[in-house]
Amino acid sequence: MNLVPVIAIDGPSASGKGTVAHGVAEALGFHYLDSGALYRLTALAAGRRGLSWDDEVAVAGVAAALDARFDGETIVLDGADVSSAIRSEDIGVGASRVAALPAVRAALLQRQRGYARMPGLVADGRDMGSVVFPEAPLKVFLTASAAVRAARRYQQLIGRGEAADLAAITADLETRDARDRARSVSPLAQQADALLLDTDGLGIAEAVDQVLAWWRVKAQA
């Protein structure tokens, strides 16, 4: 049994789980794991090696030997800052594809569990509560409609000065959702013991406050 307190926040792509998880971690003084970044790093590293994202054996090898580290908000791969590179829409698609490969998920499992250190961890992803940290005392399934998630992603891209097409982003999110729900290993789904947090009508601060309120109840139990 893992004695480190873990808050697992799962949910679909662009639901805001990363921003919320980071806010919760800061408020509690906990460590933070962006599991999606590991899959994005794997997709980026595989692409730079000229590998197909569907080559399960080769991509799993890349995942197992990933030379990556997190320095605050800076993400380093092979000694170079790739914080912006892994956030591109293309790498997001690649991350969704490599995440569907069982061997890749297995290669990254122990690496993710290694982030659980005192005083605690807030981990976000698609299978944090179901597979990576099944004994987490608080599991949250954070979601929003595809239309709301697409609008948020659109604003993010525009804010970074990147070209964006709202209809294309919406279609891409719906495709990713279908792929994530249908994959054979760790499909995207709300666990029976996870609390649902629908953020369609919530701001980031409100969502963070709700998770913190749930955590206070769990911590006092």
> What pLDDT, in 10s, does the model give residues 87-103?
888 998 899 899 889 99
Select from 182, 181, 156 the least CA-distant residue to 169. Answer: 156
Q: What is the pTM of this model?
A: 0.82
Distance between CA atoms of residues 125 and 109, nearest Å: 12
What average pLDDT does this structure show over 47-57? 96
Asked whether residue 1 carries a pLDDT value surpassing 70, the answer given is no
pLDDT at site 213: 97
Asked whether residue 188 carries a pLDDT value surpassing 80, the answer given is no
Asked whether residue 112 carries a pLDDT value surpassing 50, the answer given is yes
* Dihedral angle computed from the Cα positions of residues 206, 134, 131 and 78, in that order, rounded to the nearest 10 degrees: 70
What share of the chain has pLDDT > 90, as a percent? Answer: 57
pLDDT-derived band at 159, boundaries 50, 70, 90: confident
The phi and psi torsions of 72 (rounded to 5 degrees) equal 65, -120
Asked whether residue 195 carries a pLDDT value surpassing 80, the answer given is yes
> What pLDDT, in 10s, does the model give residues 62-93?
999 999 888 777 899 999 999 999 988 899 88
Asked whether residue 149 carries a pLDDT value surpassing 80, the answer given is yes
CA angle 94, 172, 80 (to 5 degrees): 35
- Other C-beta atoms closer than 10 Å to the C-beta of 57 total 10
pLDDT at site 2: 58
Q: Which domains does the chain have, with CATH numbers?
A: 6-216 (3.40.50.300)
Distance between CA atoms of residues 70 and 220, nearest Å: 32
pLDDT at site 136: 94
- Other C-beta atoms closer than 10 Å to the C-beta of 3 total 8
> What pLDDT, in 10s, does the model give residues 22-45?
999 999 999 999 888 999 999 999
pLDDT at site 78: 92
- Other C-beta atoms closer than 10 Å to the C-beta of 12 total 21
